[in-house]
A and B are shown apart, each in its own frame.
Chain A
Amino acid sequence: MEQFGSIDPRLTGARLMLSKVKAVVPVMSAKGGVGKTLVAVLTALHAARMGRRVGLLDLDVTSPSAHIALGVDPQKLQPEERDGVVPPDVAGVKFMTVAFYTWDKPTPLRGPAVDDAIREVLAVTNWGELDLLVVDTPPGLRDEALDVLEYLPRPRVLAVATPSRLARAGVERLLAILEEQGLERYIVENMAIGAVGLEELAEKYHARYLGRIRYDPGVEEALGSPEKLLDTDMAKDVEQIAKKLLEELGL
């Protein structure tokens, strides 16, 4: 006789929920503050404008912020219960965040609780049919960020980096990990100012370089409104990146 003790059904559940999603793109960064969330939000908004069926999932469970960029009040807008929970439509994007359940209160999760929250959100969210699911991940290269890659089917990672020389080591490590895991990887350069590009890093780690996004102080003003966000200079740069990404993904 054999025992299968303590099976966690959630990852199997997550696989079922994501089974009709054509491409899953986790947006990752080696550290916080590089504009990862905005790149994720704008990529999703642009892809939706280009006529694709798009989802956006905020898995930065300890400090979710995609809803702030989109101007979603989690106390007013809630997912609908249908074979799990169906993410509400925000500016043409199916949007899911743990903030729907924590109502913007601080959520001091530690260690295994971070992992549990991520698994739970993945297991309950009913995405239906999508062309593209953009996932905003926890920043950094700690377990919770890397575990996400294991939970998602065939993740094709969009790495967001700044050209800062200080940040360079982090970006290198991220690209090296992605290469080691044999994952498809793309890189975009955010807040690009000078001429020192990340193209050669992309080359070194066999990542596809999708382009650079200029630093745009106007973005701050546009937070909270998808229309205003799409009107920024940053959005114009991301539009080109989104086009290339969809091409790469065959969508």
Chain B
Amino acid sequence: MHEWALIRAIIAEVEEVVKKGYKVDEVTVYLGELQNVDKSVMEAYLNEAIPQIAPGAQVRYETEPARFRCRVCGREWGLDAVELDEATREAIHFVPEAVYSFVRCPFCGSRDYEITQGRGVRLALVTSRRQEETGETR
């Protein structure tokens, strides 16, 4: 499934940071509303995998609402302002930029807008230097 591709990429990113000698204290996974990934699938995998790679790490999830800004009329809106059928949602799930093929600005009809937040999946880590490697605390 598609979530699995993202999960594997997230795990690889965390592994990379651990390999560089950091202790990962916290992993925050931001789930963009537009891409609409299955949060329960993500949780099921990551809650198990991340503590194995980065012992003691807390895993948090934050859902980011999707926001759009029109480059023509300047107005902003969210997904609740537009109607999307099931097939369109599915397309956007795989490639969020597909939204540009299906959605226009609800105020002026323009297709020239930007996704200002809540596009897809990204992560942020809080880390500290591993003591045994640096010999000092930070």
* A and B found bound together: yes
CA of A6 to CA of B17, assembled, Å:
13
A113 touches B124 (CB 8 A): no
B6 touches A121 (CB 8 A): no
- One of B55-63, B76-84, B92-100 at the interface: B92-100
A109 touches B5 (CB 8 A): no
A117 touches B95 (CB 8 A): yes
A101 touches B13 (CB 8 A): no
Please, how many residues of chain B have a CB less than 8 angstroms from a CB on the other chain?
40
Known contacts A9-B13, A10-B9, A102-B98; A83/B122 CB under 8 A: no
Look across to chain B and name the residue whose beta carbon is closest to the beta carbon of A84: B5
CA of A120 to CA of B120, assembled, Å:
9
A85 touches B6 (CB 8 A): no
CA of A116 to CA of B35, assembled, Å:
12
Known contacts A7-B13, A12-B12; A126/B95 CB under 8 A: no
Residues of chain A from 46 to 91 with CB closer than 8 A to chain B in the complex: 61, 81-85
Look across to chain B and name the residue whose beta carbon is closest to the beta carbon of A1: B128
CA of A129 to CA of B126, assembled, Å:
36
Cβ contacts under 8 Å, B8 to chain A: 13, 16, 83
Indicate with 1 or 0, residue by residue over A83-106, a CB within 8 angstroms of chain B CB atoms: 111000000000000101111011
CA of A4 to CA of B4, assembled, Å:
22
Residues of chain B from 51 to 79 with CB closer than 8 A to chain A in the complex: none
CA of A110 to CA of B97, assembled, Å:
10
CA of A28 to CA of B123, assembled, Å:
33
Cβ contacts under 8 Å, B4 to chain A: 83-84
Cβ contacts under 8 Å, B129 to chain A: 2
The verdict on A250 contacting chain B, using a C-beta distance below 8 Å, is no
B5 touches A117 (CB 8 A): no
B127 touches A113 (CB 8 A): no
Please, how many residues of chain A have a CB less than 8 angstroms from a CB on the other chain?
40
A101 touches B94 (CB 8 A): yes
Known contacts A85-B94, A120-B96; A17/B5 CB under 8 A: yes
A13 touches B122 (CB 8 A): no
Residues of chain B from 112 to 138 with CB closer than 8 A to chain A in the complex: 112, 114-115, 119-129, 138
Known contacts A1-B126, A84-B4, A113-B100; A13/B12 CB under 8 A: yes
Q: Count chain B CB atoms within 10 A of each CB in A100, A109, A112, A124 and give the residue with the most.
A: A124
Indicate with 1 or 0, residue by residue over A1-35, a CB within 8 angstroms of chain B CB atoms: 11111111110110011000000000000000000
B127 touches A1 (CB 8 A): yes
B111 touches A126 (CB 8 A): no
Look across to chain A and name the residue whose beta carbon is closest to the beta carbon of B12: A12
Cβ contacts under 8 Å, A126 to chain B: 5
Cβ contacts under 8 Å, B125 to chain A: 3-4, 7
Look across to chain A and name the residue whose beta carbon is closest to the beta carbon of B22: A2
A12 touches B13 (CB 8 A): yes
Query: Which of A7, A98, A101 interacts with B124 by CB under 8 Å?
Result: A7
10 contacts between A and B (CB under 8 A): A2-B129, A13-B12, A17-B5, A101-B91, A101-B94, A105-B102, A107-B97, A108-B111, A108-B112, A126-B5
Q: Which 6 A-B pairs have the closest CB atoms?
A: A13-B9, A84-B5, A9-B9, A117-B97, A4-B125, A105-B101
Residues of B within 8 A of A (CB): 1-2, 4-6, 8-10, 12-13, 16-17, 22, 25, 91-92, 94-98, 100-102, 111-112, 114-115, 119-129, 138
- Knowing that A82-B1, A85-B2, A101-B95 touch, tell me 18 more A-B residue pairs with CB under 8 angstroms: A2-B129, A3-B126, A4-B17, A4-B125, A7-B125, A8-B122, A9-B13, A9-B123, A13-B6, A81-B1, A83-B1, A85-B94, A101-B91, A102-B101, A110-B112, A116-B120, A117-B97, A124-B2
